[in-house]
Amino acid sequence: MKIYADHAATTAVSDTAMAAMLPCFQGVYANPSSLHSPGQRAAEKLAQAREIFARNLNAAPREITFTSGGSESDVQALRTGAALGARKGKRHILSTKFEHHAVLHTLKALEKEGFTVTLLDIPADGVVTAEAVREAMRPDTCLVSVMFANNEIGTVQPIADIGALCREAGVLFHTDAVQAAGHLPIDVEAMHIDLLSLSAHKFRGPKGVGVLYARRGVALERVIHGGAQEWGKRAGTENLPGICGAAAAFDEACANLKEHAAYLTPLRDKLIAGLTAIPHTVLNGDPVRRLPGNINVCFEGIEGESLLLMLDAKGIAASSGSACTSGSLDPSHVLLALGRPHEVAHGSLRLSLDVDNTPEEIDYILDVLPGIVSYLREMSPVWDELETGRRPHLI
């Protein structure tokens, strides 16, 4: 059996998205900036795509800017908030410790440019509270950036509450909605969102296409300089095939939000129940306030990369936050922020499901995983120490 359970990393392009893209490669291939008729046909398609994103986010088309993906959208959003703040003499940015690196590393860069950054601690359930945001807010805070749903542990943040308090305080609010878009309902008006990033390949659109929503009146700071595309705010000839595919995928995903969540939630909960039944295993993040397809657990006494390789050999594609898989010495900053000790964080596993995953696949994973965990624990000197009492169990 071949099971793809890494949909939070990326997804396959849907048939609908493929169908929307194909005509743009050889048919409607002209440059949307061109004055001639073929160019204007391309411009029309671009406008339609923009309208689709606007409609599904409850925004206006003029508020939608196309980018190369989630990272670029995050960078431009933060740089916009920072630049607008600096003009008013406000140089404090408030965010959280478990943001995506696109946010965290940009904030690091902004710190070097003279901004002060506060990163909120993450509670044990992986859900930041609006109250914590309120308490950390300062008179010179110019921007709050809190992700909609975490990319590793899938916990969903109280975006509407945070948005409301930012609006009240007159502070710009950005949310990195890369994991949430196409999976959870988003209403930028009701949630008081000023800036929002999303990425098409997380909801069965193509890679290399992102959207940056910026509320009317929030003047975007240029990051990519050049031509006058996207109202002069993002240069470069538009990736029309990608954008059309992204829009089709988003439309489809948003139309099926409820059905997809209703299908995925029981599968997710079955996996969580089955995996946490393995001794010394813990679920990372709140069991309920999480994305419908996200499962993230830590197994004590084993290391994530070897777990992934064993799963791969059984046909299961998954992901881990171990140091070895992150390519650095430290395990996932998300799990560390959640309070997991290093040695526990190394043994993490993320399974992310989508509607093409079947109940039979869930059964197969539950069939195979406990044996792999026992095998690796059997081989592990750490497990030996845990079991013989020379090392205390942490979970």
Partner 1 sequence: MALYSDKVMDHFQNPRNVGKMENADGIGEVGNAKCGDIMRMYIKVDPKTQVITDVKFNTFGCGSAIATSSMATEMIKGKPISEALKLSNKAVVEALDGLPTHKIHCSVLAEEAVRAAVKDYFDRNGIPYGDELQDCAGHCDTCGHGCEA
Looking at residue 4, the DSSP 8-state letter turns out to be: E
Our CB check for partner 1 shows the closer of 62 and 342 to be: 342
Cβ atoms 180, 148 nearer than 8 A: yes
Question: Residue 333 Cβ, how far from partner 1 at the closest point, in Å?
Answer: 15
Selected from 60, 83, 278, 324, the binder of partner 1 by CB under 8 A is: 324
393 interacts with partner 1 by CB under 8 A = no
261 binds partner 1 (CB under 8 A): no
Token readout for 394 is 């942490």
How far apart are the C-alpha atoms of 11 and 355, rounded to whole Å?
11
Tokens 């000197």 found at: 381
| 306 near partner 1, rule: CB under 8 A | yes
Nearest distance from C-beta of residue 112 to partner 1, angstroms: 23
Q: Which of 161, 269, 384, 387 binds partner 1 (CB under 8 A)?
A: 384
DSSP string of 268-321?
Answer: HHHHHHHHHTSTTEEE-S-SSSB-TTEEEEEETTS-HHHHHHHHHHTTEE-B--
- The smaller minimum CB distance to partner 1, of residues 160 and 309, is found at 309
Q: Look up 324 and say whether it is catalytic.
A: yes
Please, which residue, 240 or 335, has the CB nearer to partner 1? Answer: 335
Residue 371 binds partner 1, judged by CB under 8 A = no
Judged by beta carbon, residue 263 or residue 383, the one nearer partner 1 is 383
| CB of 140 or CB of 343, closer to partner 1 | 343
CA distances from 18 to 11, 28, 35, 188, 252 (A): 13, 15, 27, 28, 12
187 is an interface residue for partner 1 by CB under 8 A: no
Q: How far apart are CA 372 and CA 34, in angstroms?
A: 58
**Residue among 66 and 299 whose Cβ is closer to partner 1:** 299
Distance CA 100, CA 8 (A): 13
* 268 binding partner 1? (CB under 8 A): no
Total binding residues toward partner 1, as defined by CB under 8 A: 25
Strands (E), the chain: 3-4, 64-67, 92-96, 116-120, 141-145, 172-176, 195-199, 210-214, 281-283, 294-299, 316-317, 348-352
CB of 54 to partner 1, least distance (A): 42
Nearest to 353 by CA among 306, 325, 326, 319: 319
Question: Residue 69 interacts with partner 1 (CB under 8 A)?
Answer: no
Q: Is 331 in the site for partner 1 (CB under 8 A)?
A: yes
Q: What b-and-e string marks burial along 93-120, b requiring 16 or more CB atoms within 10 Å of the CB?
A: bbbbebbbebbbebbeebeeeebebbbb
Taking the alpha carbons at both ends of the chain, their separation in whole angstroms is: 32
Give the closest residue to 265 by CA, choosing from 254, 273, 276. Answer: 273
Residues in contact with partner 1, shown as a per-residue x/- string from 17 to 56 under the rule CB under 8 A: ----------------------------------------
Please identify, using beta-carbon distances, which residue of 113 and 385 lies nearer to partner 1. 385
With contacts defined by CB under 8 A, name the span among 3-11, 86-94, 180-188, 336-344 that binds partner 1. 336-344
Which one of the spans 109-117, 168-176, 295-303, 358-366 is the region binding partner 1 (CB under 8 A)? 295-303
Q: Which stretch binds partner 1 (CB under 8 A): 232-240, 265-273, 353-361, 377-385?
A: 377-385
Rounded to whole angstroms, the Cα distance separating 47 from 32 reads 10
Q: What is the SS3 assignment for 15? A: helix
Binding residue for partner 1, selected from 176, 303, 354, 361, defined by CB under 8 A? 303
Q: Using the rule CB under 8 A, which residue among 136, 169, 382, 395 binds partner 1? A: 382
Does residue 342 touch partner 1 according to CB under 8 A? yes
DSSP state of 6: B
Q: Report, as residue numbers or ranges, the catalytic residues.
A: 324
Interface with partner 1 by CB under 8 A: which residues? 301-306, 309, 313, 322-324, 327, 329, 331, 341-343, 346, 379-384, 391
